[in-house]
């Protein structure tokens, strides 16, 4: 049986990593990178150029090419508003899709995308890489064993730094809408989206109907439309609460963490490195786990005869995260931070804002499942 043919759409920025992964699979004989797609042709130092991979400016150009370069699987790493139309075109052409997060620009678009998968019978894996972490089932097992007692809440803390160059990297960066279309690019829905999706997944909240309510409290220190410092509380259908304290305006970048809080201890998951730390009344554990590539998982599911085998991050399992994105999309515009609480550091493209004590406030949001406003953070007054 011949190796499945892969195409990567959107090959610059993060897309370069997908190209490298596809080339590694090609060298291992597990797949064949047959084409790359981007309006901008790969330059001489791009890995796709060095491999001599055929280039097409649009997905339409690739789909109308001859069968020799027609892919079986398409990786989409493109601007958020293009996710639905490109994924739909690929699946209607008979291809399976690995789609970068966030899934779509609205909950309605997610519903339409799920309908496309059901109509075409194609697979759509979404690029929440943490869903492939072997630490996630380990957390679930520890909770099920009662190692931290009864779970009283979940949280996530993300205190990162993003400079002016980050917000200038693309026309859609930091926008809520662009040219009349939803973009919803902000700390909750893009750079720290993994924190939200992973915490919900650990708690068993994956589908849209698993979420009862979402409270958002959104702010911005940068001169952008979107939020760069936000608190979110999700109340699940079973009443469990999830608190997310997230910022791109910290004094220094720290490792993002998911918290599982219990009556007899807590679990911290440093999801970027798949490190799990358990502290309880009777046990301490610090262990780093492996991770399954979502692209490899998609290829394996394609080749598996078992119809019951599921993707690690099936598009349907991003519904809960999309409820959060929808609350951000439809909520009030982020409020600007008071000037006296923001210190600007650096110059030129490296210039970035630091919000006073923001890391401490984000920690409180995660641990207490309360918003900045409820906690009385100074920028909310």
Across all residues in the chain, what is the average pLDDT? 96
Max Cα-Cα span within the chain: 64
Q: What is the mean pLDDT of residues 167-187?
A: 94
**Is the dihedral angle over the CA atoms 346, 351, 357, 362 positive or is it negative?**
negative
What is the tens place of the pLDDT at every residue in 282-316? 889 999 999 999 999 999 999 987 877 899 999 99
Strand ranges (E), 172-253: 177-178, 181-182, 211-220, 229-236, 241-247
pLDDT at residue 1, rounded to an integer:
56
pLDDT at 31 over 60: yes
pLDDT at 267 over 90: yes
Q: What is the mean pLDDT of residues 138-164?
A: 97
pLDDT at 51 over 90: no
pLDDT at residue 300, rounded to an integer:
94
pLDDT at residue 188, rounded to an integer:
98
Percent of the chain with pLDDT strictly greater than 90: 92
User: Which one, of 187, 213, 204, lies nearest residue 317 by Cα?
Assistant: 204
Q: What is the mean pLDDT of residues 194-215?
A: 98
Q: What is the mean pLDDT of residues 337-348?
A: 97
* Residue 349 binned pLDDT confidence (cut-offs 50, 70, 90): very high
Helices 193-202 & 135-144 angle (0-180, nearest 10): 40
Q: What is the mean pLDDT of residues 259-276?
A: 98
**Is the dihedral angle over the CA atoms 287, 199, 232, 158 positive or is it negative?**
positive
pLDDT at residue 378, rounded to an integer:
98
Q: What is the mean pLDDT of residues 145-170?
A: 97
In angstroms, the Cα distances linking 224 to 119, 247, 337 are 39, 14, 12
Q: Residue 14 and residue 22: Cα distance in Å, rounded?
A: 13
**Token couple for 46:** 């791009």
Contact 151, 143 (CB under 8 A): yes
Neighbours of 31 (CB within 10 A): 23
3-state SS, residue 361: helix
Contact 105, 83 (CB under 8 A): yes
Q: Percent helix, strand, coil in the chain (nearest 5)? A: 35, 25, 40
Residues 6+ apart with CB under 8 A from 14: 77, 100
User: Which one, of 370, 360, 380, 365, lies nearest residue 250 by Cα?
Assistant: 360
User: Which one, of 109, 63, 101, lies nearest residue 85 by Cα?
Assistant: 109
What is the number of alpha carbons within 13 Å of residue 171 lying toward its C-beta? Answer: 7
Percent of the chain with pLDDT strictly greater than 70: 100
pLDDT at residue 307, rounded to an integer:
78
Which one-letter DSSP state was computed for residue 18? H
* Residue 68 binned pLDDT confidence (cut-offs 50, 70, 90): confident
Contact 126, 99 (CB under 8 A): yes
Indicate the pairing of strand 5-9 with strand 73-76.
parallel
Residues 6+ apart with CB under 8 A from 178: 81, 171, 172
């Amino acid at each position: 049986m011949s190796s499945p043919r892969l195409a990567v759409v959107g090959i610059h920025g993060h897309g370069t990593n997908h190209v490298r992964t596809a080339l590694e699979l090609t060298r291992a004989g597990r797949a064949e990178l047959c084409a790359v797609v981007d309006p901008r042709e790969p330059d001489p130092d791009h890995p796709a150029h060095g491999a001599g991979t055929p280039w097409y400016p649009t997905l339409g150009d690739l789909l109308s090419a001859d069968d020799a370069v027609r892919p079986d699987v398409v990786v989409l790493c493109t601007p958020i508003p293009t996710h639905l139309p490109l994924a739909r075109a690929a699946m209607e052409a008979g291809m399976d899709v690995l789609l970068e997060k966030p899934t779509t620009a609205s909950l309605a678009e997610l519903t339409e995308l799920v309908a496309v998968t059901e109509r075409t019978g194609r697979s759509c894996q979404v690029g929440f890489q943490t869903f492939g972490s072997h630490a996630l089932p380990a957390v679930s097992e520890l909770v099920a064993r009662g190692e931290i007692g009864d779970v009283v809440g979940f949280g996530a803390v993300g205190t990162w730094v993003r400079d002016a160059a980050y917000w200038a990297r693309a026309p859609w960066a930091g926008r809520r809408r662009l040219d009349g279309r939803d973009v919803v690019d902000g700390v909750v829905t893009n750079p720290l989206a993994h924190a939200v999706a992973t915490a919900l997944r650990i708690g068993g909240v994956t589908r849209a109907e698993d979420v009862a309510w979402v409270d958002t409290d959104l702010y911005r220190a940068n001169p952008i439309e979107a939020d760069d410092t936000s608190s979110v509380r999700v109340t699940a259908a079973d009443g469990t609460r999830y608190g997310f304290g997230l910022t791109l305006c910290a004094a220094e970048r720290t490792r993002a963490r998911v918290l599982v809080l219990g009556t007899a201890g807590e679990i911290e998951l440093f999801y970027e490195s798949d490190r799990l730390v358990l502290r309880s009344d009777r046990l301490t554990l610090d262990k780093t786990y492996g991770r399954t590539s979502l692209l490899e998982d998609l290829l394996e599911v394609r080749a598996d005869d078992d119809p019951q085998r599921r993707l690690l991050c099936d598009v349907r399992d991003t519904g809960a995260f999309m409820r959060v994105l929808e609350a951000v999309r439809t909520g009030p515009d982020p409020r600007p931070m008071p000037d006296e609480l923001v210190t600007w550091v650096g110059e030129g493209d490296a210039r970035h804002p630091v919000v006073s004590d923001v890391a401490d406030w984000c920690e409180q949001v995660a641990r207490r499942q309360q918003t900045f406003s409820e906690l009385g953070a100074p920028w909310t007054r």
